[in-house]
Amino acid sequence: MKGIKDLYVAKGKKTIHFDMAKARPPDDEVLGLIMGRSGKLRAPAIRKGSVLVVGFNPDILADALT
C-alpha cells in the first residue's frame, strides 16, 4: 500500500473509498476487503499513480482511472 493515496474497493453493488493519506484504516480491515477467499488479491486490481482500484465496478473504474 506504499504510495497509495486513494483506495477504491468494489464489492457487489457497494463501493468503498478510503483516503489513505488522511485516515488510513487498520491493515486488518483493508486486507479483509481486498483479499479474496483464496487468500489472493481480488481481481481486477488496477493501480494508476497513487490510486488503487480493487474489484469490478465500471463506474468506479472509469471515474478513478481517468
pLDDT, tens only, 5-52: 999 999 888 899 999 999 999 999 999 999 999 999 999 999 999 999
Q: Which three cell numbers stand for residue 59?
A: 463506474
Average pLDDT over residues 47-62: 89
- DSSP at 40: S
Residue 56 is predicted with a pLDDT of 92
The reported pTM is 0.86
- Asked if pLDDT for residue 63 goes beyond 80, the answer is no
Q: Phi and psi at residue 30, in whole multiples of 5°? A: -65, -45
- DSSP at 5: S
